[in-house]
Structure 1
Amino acid sequence: MLRRAFLGLVLLLAAGTAALAFWEPLAADTPTAPVFKPADVRIARDAFGVPHIFGKTDADVAYGVAYAHAEDDFASLQEVLAMTRGRAGAMLGADGAKVDYAAALLDIRATSARDWPRLPADVRALFTAYAAGLNHYADKHPGEVRLSGLFPVTGEDVVAGFVLRSPFFFGLDSVLGELVEDKPFAREGGPPLDAGGQPVARPLTPVGRDPGDNGSNAMAVAPSRAPDGATRLVSNSHQPWTGGVAWYELVVHSEEGWDFAGANFPGSPYPFLGHNKYLGWTNTVNRPDLIDLYKLVLDESGEAYRLDGAWRPLEKKRVWLKVKYGPFVLPVPRTVWRSVHGPVIKNDKGAFAIRYAGYDQANMATQYYRLNKAKNFAEWRAAMAGQGVPATNFIYADAKGNIGLFYNAMFPDRPAGYNWRGVLPGDTSAALWTKTLPFDRVPALVNPRSGYVMNANNAPWVAAGPGDELDAAAFSPLLGIEDDMTNRAARLIDLFEASGPIDADRLKAIKYDTSYARTGYAKAWIDRLLALDVGSDPALKQAQELLRRWDWNLDGKGHGDALALMVLRPANGRHYQRRPAPDAMTVLKETVAHLQKHFATLDPKLGTVLRLRHGEGASRIDLPLDGGNDTIRASTLWDVEPDGRLKVRHGDSFIMFVTWDRAGQVRSESIQPFGAATTRPESPHYNDQAPLFVRHQLKPVLFDPAALMATRPRVYRP
């Protein structure tokens, strides 16, 4: 009897285990596969494995983009797709479930379902073809599919990914996390406002601004500054080197006139930056205050809120997050709330509604495609005026010699009289904005007399040098534009303002600069370390002496570079959101202890400490790096390895130099930290660009199909 009962319990547990292991894909929605049959698609891989996709139509090309990217990084593509379907938790565990919660809270699928049929037919065709290319790869390689039932995907799924990720670039993910965890949140933008909504005057704030996993430098130089009469553009985005927002290089050619070289993120059918024959652009993250929080007044039930003297029910929806725990996927219930303001999060301090720029729209899918195909400055500006991309700086250049900086943002049309930098009253519709300002209200600086524009995640008021800048006073403080400076911006202005022409070699020297300006937060922090009373501790005294004699250049050639790199990083991180500086003595002691333990000296060579590492076994690469977390040559974020080395994972990523000569002919060069196939150790292109990357070298972009074919690329059909 007991034996039968025990066996029955074992069978019941086994059945439960099997159910927990397999229920999630059975419960997931399985969409109908998109119907798309390409007319003619060819993929040509150059000597570095970069895919050049050729198609009869733009949709054919998008199909090929998906297939080529899947060949190189199917793992990251699947993670992005799982996010769009609310299944990231089933694939990635608790961290993925956080993204699923955000997607449910923002109701991205309702947005994409409503906007998908409204998108222009050519945009829908492009996304449908891209989804079909992903499905085709999954069908041919079932053993690589990481999550049962993830495929087929649709064009609408891909658009939903755009809706989800766009607001994260101006900090929405941080605000959501801080509200959920009931932490004080640091507001983006500036300057601060008083209770009546008037600006509190202050100078540009010299902070080290590397926004989380997003940063960047961008430069454009007009023919007036070039000895050869060329126009030049430098794309230097700082992104993670792997994962869902790692750059992937590609070149596309369609018989419908879509020719473009640049890079995209996993989950995009087209490049987000780069150039065509006529023009090009690059981006840097800007962080205006585009997020407003409203404190709601709830009734006793907690399910109704007061607005204009009347009670309204909160929208309430039960969602089940699928969370992977070991071999199991467990359902975790959560309730998401919404008010007329937007998504609502409840914590111990109350209920807070969130309203943000670009809320509940998918127009960014159209805007990037139109930018790709623009043939002149007027067409490009018309595409920008469509305002689908809620925030990011655009730095532009073209074959006609035009250059410009556009502080792109979908600024809320906020009524005066409120402190938009604080928490707003949620019980009056007077504080509720309902539209955004048109593109002609965006700060823009076009063809300045200085002959250059630049941005390094700093305020747009510093972009072209003294006498050529925008007037900050001409723009309302209600726009919430940041008033920050970075070391990178200060250095770029100094280098561009130096007299003389800027040719290709000088522009490359500017881009690879590794110095700190002896101003701002860096100088204040080093002075603070030098002022510490370290008593008779010989190691701390030696560290102070190294810092006192340091040449302020992280080129790896001088003394004290590794020490300076490590002590500057904590200060820079705190300055980003204007949080209190770390304890100087603690930072100095911890850095000294680390260097003594792992290197037996306080002055190891920078390249010994700071490393480019990727892969394992025979595919492993381990090379020295230079630069720091707020130098123009950027090594921004790193992981501390067991041997004490700092393995960089974020910083200079995809770099592109574009030149239009005096006759308007374009040529370009580029580089990546690793290679085209970042998650394929067996590929010859897993790490083939790394030696060039660490030596500040570039490879040619074979944008002209004739030049490509002359190199005898590997050509095939997917």
Structure 2
Amino acid sequence: MLLGSLVLAACHGSADVDSSALGESSGVEIRRTAHGVPHIRANDFYGLGLGYGYAVAEDNICRLADFYVTVRGERSRFFGPDESFLFPGNLMETKNLDSDFFFKLYQAQGTVEALMNAPPPNGPDAEARALLAGHIAGYNRYLSETGVDQLPDPTCRGAEWVQPISEIDVYRMAHALGMFAGAAASAGGIGAAVPTLGEPPLGLLGLDIGSDAEELGRWLRSPEGLRALGEWQPPQMASNAIAVGREASASGSGLLLGNPHQGWKDAALFYQVDLEVPGRYKVSGASFLGLPFVVIGSTASMAWSHTTSSAFRFVPYQLTLVDATTYLVDGQPEAMKAWPLTVDALQENGSVVTVNRTLHTTRYGPMVTNIAGLNLFVWAPPLGFALKDVNAEHFRFLNHFIEIGRVGNVRDLKRLLDDTHGIPWANTVAADADGETLYADITVIANLPDQRAIQCSSVSGAALFPLLGLPVLDGTRSDCDLDAMPGTDLQAGVMPPEEMPFQFRNDYVMNSNDSYWLSNLNAPLEGFPRILGEENTERRLRTRMGLTLIEDRLAGRDGLPGDRFDHENLKQIMFNSRHFLGEMWRDGLAAYCSSLPFALGSSGPTDVSEACPVLANWDATNNLDSPGALLFRRISEQLLGQTVPNGTTTQMRLPGTSAFLRPFRRDDPLGTPGGLNVLRPEVQLALADVVDEFAELGMPLDVPLREVQYVERNGERIPLHGGPDRSGLFSIINVDRDPETGHYVNPRHGNTFTQVVSFGASGCPRISTNMTYGQSQNPQSPWFVDQTRMYRDKQWFDVPFCRSDIERQTRSLTVLR
């Protein structure tokens, strides 16, 4: 029986605590080192979960309780039905009421209950069950001891929605994690899916239903169709990772740079932790908040990170409807399954009413009217769409993320990826102490080789598949049902690991969310199905920047000593804020500016002469004190694409508006597309309009980034280096611009848990990290703003891994008996 928690020492100062004063205990230990990182040591996995649950609740009880309200389908009950929130993980803006119905649908179907009770490997194994059971006990233990009315975080102190959690709550949260890039990215489009009767809305039904693929393809490639696609904002899931092997390492051992990008605003999702069962288990890194396992981190001899894969994690099915709720399969009508659902919704007067909505499912999955923000899908007879998410059908990733804490090298990691086959949506990039690296996109995805995707394509899929790589299958054919297609021994219709891209290298591998094709510049991966990503096509600017950083280091031309990677220069490279587009365009833009007597803008001629030397003297970085960084950003944003209402820029350029001088060439993927085509009228227009914009705001053209890009924490403005990834920044901060002030305030998304890991003779890996938004989301916590200030100053801290170092650096110790 647990007899209570014993806090033996606690201090948040910089001095280490003498470990001899702390004593020893057979209970669960939570030792906190610098910046609040908990090192949890227990005799079994239940104890690890207990310590994790207690520690994470201490630091983030309000954020966690909010997550649990979400997966219970109770946001409308406590926060109102019409408010919107950023869905954790994918940052899709979702209305509370629609999210609630989305989760209520899975509850009505009993999906999570069936999975949590399924035998492994598709269900959780014994260690996973014990770990999650311990987490529940630890969370509830902290809440019971502290009391809702005495919670340290004023955000939810005394709030009715902070409640004890149960087993089903945690498994529902885990299930949502598995669907972040799949069905959960369409939570609003599923939770709000009801048929439209009468005149259909614009969308794919903008064409006659009898249209063939060629006609639909012409429409999608027309200015109207491309505008619809160009305005699509896909889920903001991104990351960088570089693994360095013995041939590129100064020491001969492997190194890893992990740089995942997650939400800053309301959705801080990573939580740093160290987990140990003596003699059996040891891993350090970042967990997803509220799930007690490390998803990105290091063992004693292997480190790994993840980046969101470019592959689509969902498969839409186009249905031919007999009526609103009946569809044809093999020429026979098949009725949808109706799910009458209710949600409690808070009203402005404080009362709570019941809202009713009936959602429908098909053999392929739920009906959907918006897929990952893409408003081309409708439910209006005779046309409708259903969504299949193969990651909604397993809990194998729970077992994977626990077992990875025992992996010692990248060869064993590859075997784990193959055998468990549970990673839902992320590339794996890893390095080991022997100096070998691994890249793998071995994930759970529909088994759709190109021929099968084409043969089973619907009319809409025939256009969308070549354009976006999104297969839209023909729901009128039972042989196109994924459940009826070949798959793995673990799951029908899922692509086998042996057919997916991976490579071992002794120099390097990397990924920045483009496809697998150029994980190593000199060893392209080719010949894989289109659903996994594109080959021999233009890479995003961030990928090109990452590859350039690697190539410049190995050629010794990046201004740092030597021509190999080591721990320190990898940290410097991560935060150097080089601007790929700036390096490519700055000189040409400055020269063109100087050649103009004036520039013709939207408001007429503009004197741009003062902008020319600012551009010429800019150092092509997004460092805090780099005059010209903001001026160039605003100009490049005009040239890269449309600006949409939320202030972000699109991922697609409409044909004919490219400002690049040289088109893409597959034999020069780093250099092309390249150059600035100053003959394009858009260049002069952008130059003039941005100069006018600065004048209207009263902002100097050489204003440093320090003054205009920042996060607000407890009334403090903390400047942030880095910038938008689509301009070619490797170190990214994606933040909306306030048009009234011209400032970029409070990032939505960007650098979060950044780690550099190296291995030496001691057997204790060196792990340098920075959690940009802090370990705690409690504004009263000492760990709320400390690492954000460190990020401002490009500082890292080393997290102890081995027992003696942890004990020596312990700042506080809590023992749960």
Q: Same fold (TM over 0.5)?
A: yes
Distance 1:625 1:245 in 2: 17
1:209-220 mapped onto 2 (5 Å cutoff): 212-220=235-243
Aligned partner of 2:170 in structure 1 is 158
1:655 paired to 2:754: yes
Query: Shift of the alpha carbon at 1:645?
Result: 3.0
1:430 paired to 2:479: yes
Query: Shift of the alpha carbon at 1:668?
Result: 0.9
Would the aligned equivalents of 1:459 and 1:484 in 2 still touch at CA under 8 Å?
A: no
Per-residue Cα deviation, 1:70-118 (whole angstroms, up to 9, x for no partner): 1111111011111221112223333233322222345586221011122
Letter aligned with residue 228 of structure 1: S
CA 1:224–1:614: 2 relative to 1, 3 Å: same
Partner-residue secondary structure (3-state), 1:368: helix
Would the aligned equivalents of 1:214 and 1:238 in 2 still touch at CA under 8 Å?
A: yes
Q: Which moved more, 1:340-349 or 1:365-374?
A: 340-349
1:112 paired to 2:112: yes
Aligned partner of 1:477 in structure 2 is 530
Letter aligned with residue 514 of structure 1: S
Aligned partner of 1:559 in structure 2 is 627
Letter aligned with residue 713 of structure 2: H
1:689 paired to 2:787: yes
Aligned partner of 2:53 in structure 1 is 66
CA 1:360–1:569: 2 relative to 1, 3 Å: farther
Query: Shift of the alpha carbon at 1:176?
Result: 5.3
Would the aligned equivalents of 2:233 and 2:650 in 1 still touch at CA under 8 Å?
A: no
Aligned partner of 1:645 in structure 2 is 743
Aligned partner of 1:286 in structure 2 is 309
Would the aligned equivalents of 2:515 and 2:532 in 1 still touch at CA under 8 Å?
A: no
Distance 2:358 2:583 in 1: 45
Query: Shift of the alpha carbon at 1:443?
Result: 0.6
Distance 1:456 1:562 in 2: 24
1:389 paired to 2:394: no
Would the aligned equivalents of 1:237 and 1:654 in 2 still touch at CA under 8 Å?
A: yes
Would the aligned equivalents of 2:242 and 2:257 in 1 still touch at CA under 8 Å?
A: yes
1:112-261 mapped onto 2 (5 Å cutoff): 112-118=112-118, 119-140=124-145, 141-143=147-149, 144=151, 148=160, 151-169=163-181, 173-174=185-186, 177=189, 212-255=235-278, 257-261=280-284
CA 1:377–1:217: 2 relative to 1, 3 Å: closer
Query: Shift of the alpha carbon at 1:313?
Result: 1.4
Which residue of 481, 498, 503 corresponds with 1:445?
503
CA 1:211–1:341: 2 relative to 1, 3 Å: closer
Letter aligned with residue 468 of structure 1: A
Aligned partner of 1:318 in structure 2 is 340
Q: How many residues in Structure 1 have an aligned counterpart in Structure 2?
A: 659
Query: Shift of the alpha carbon at 1:477?
Result: 2.6
Would the aligned equivalents of 1:337 and 1:344 in 2 still touch at CA under 8 Å?
A: yes
Q: Which moved more, 1:477-486 or 1:456-465?
A: 477-486
Per-residue Cα deviation, 1:657-705 (whole angstroms, up to 9, x for no partner): 10012565411111122432222x2222221223321121111101122
Distance 2:694 2:517 in 1: 40
Q: Which moved more, 1:669-678 or 1:602-611?
A: 669-678
Distance 1:98 1:625 in 2: 34
Aligned partner of 2:361 in structure 1 is 338
1:492 paired to 2:514: no
1:380 paired to 2:413: yes
Query: Shift of the alpha carbon at 1:139?
Result: 1.6
CA 1:524–1:77: 2 relative to 1, 3 Å: farther
Would the aligned equivalents of 1:229 and 1:662 in 2 still touch at CA under 8 Å?
A: no
Distance 1:36 1:413 in 2: 52
CA 1:523–1:176: 2 relative to 1, 3 Å: farther
Distance 2:182 2:586 in 1: 28
Aligned partner of 1:47 in structure 2 is 34
Letter aligned with residue 441 of structure 1: E
- Give the TM-score, by structure 1 length: 0.82
Query: Shift of the alpha carbon at 1:284?
Result: 0.9
Aligned partner of 2:455 in structure 1 is 417
CA 1:539–1:180: 2 relative to 1, 3 Å: farther
Query: Shift of the alpha carbon at 1:604?
Result: 0.8
Would the aligned equivalents of 1:295 and 1:352 in 2 still touch at CA under 8 Å?
A: yes
1:500-519 mapped onto 2 (5 Å cutoff): 500-518=563-581
CA 1:566–1:110: 2 relative to 1, 3 Å: farther
Aligned partner of 1:667 in structure 2 is 766
Aligned partner of 2:722 in structure 1 is 627
Distance 1:521 1:91 in 2: 50
CA 1:152–1:641: 2 relative to 1, 3 Å: farther
Letter aligned with residue 486 of structure 1: R
CA 1:503–1:280: 2 relative to 1, 3 Å: closer
Distance 2:130 2:316 in 1: 37
Would the aligned equivalents of 2:98 and 2:188 in 1 still touch at CA under 8 Å?
A: no
Unaligned regions of 5+ residues in structure 1, if any? 1-33, 186-193, 199-206
Letter aligned with residue 140 of structure 2: N
Distance 2:267 2:108 in 1: 18
Partner-residue secondary structure (3-state), 1:312: strand
Would the aligned equivalents of 1:294 and 1:426 in 2 still touch at CA under 8 Å?
A: yes
Identity across aligned pairs (percent)?
A: 21
Aligned partner of 1:266 in structure 2 is 289
Q: Which moved more, 1:603-612 or 1:578-587?
A: 578-587
Partner-residue secondary structure (3-state), 1:161: helix
CA 1:285–1:556: 2 relative to 1, 3 Å: same
Letter aligned with residue 153 of structure 1: I
Would the aligned equivalents of 1:673 and 1:689 in 2 still touch at CA under 8 Å?
A: yes
CA 1:629–1:89: 2 relative to 1, 3 Å: same
Unaligned regions of 5+ residues in structure 2, if any? 6-25, 85-95, 119-123, 195-200, 205-212, 218-229, 370-377, 466-470, 484-492, 556-562, 642-647, 659-681
Would the aligned equivalents of 1:63 and 1:131 in 2 still touch at CA under 8 Å?
A: yes
Would the aligned equivalents of 1:318 and 1:336 in 2 still touch at CA under 8 Å?
A: yes
Would the aligned equivalents of 1:322 and 1:331 in 2 still touch at CA under 8 Å?
A: yes
CA 1:89–1:256: 2 relative to 1, 3 Å: farther
CA 1:175–1:588: 2 relative to 1, 3 Å: farther
CA 1:59–1:521: 2 relative to 1, 3 Å: farther
Aligned partner of 1:100 in structure 2 is 100
Query: Shift of the alpha carbon at 1:639?
Result: 5.8
Q: CA RMSD in A?
A: 3.8
Partner-residue secondary structure (3-state), 1:632: coil
Distance 1:645 1:89 in 2: 33
Query: Shift of the alpha carbon at 1:263?
Result: 0.9
Query: Shift of the alpha carbon at 1:408?
Result: 3.0
Query: Shift of the alpha carbon at 1:437?
Result: 1.3
Letter aligned with residue 628 of structure 2: G
Q: Which moved more, 1:708-717 or 1:69-78?
A: 708-717
1:359 paired to 2:392: yes
Letter aligned with residue 312 of structure 1: E
Distance 2:735 2:814 in 1: 38
Distance 1:568 1:642 in 2: 20
1:573-652 mapped onto 2 (5 Å cutoff): 573-576=648-651, 592=691, 595-616=694-715, 621-630=716-725, 631-638=729-736, 640=738, 644-649=742-747, 650-652=749-751
CA 1:98–1:521: 2 relative to 1, 3 Å: farther
Aligned partner of 1:77 in structure 2 is 64
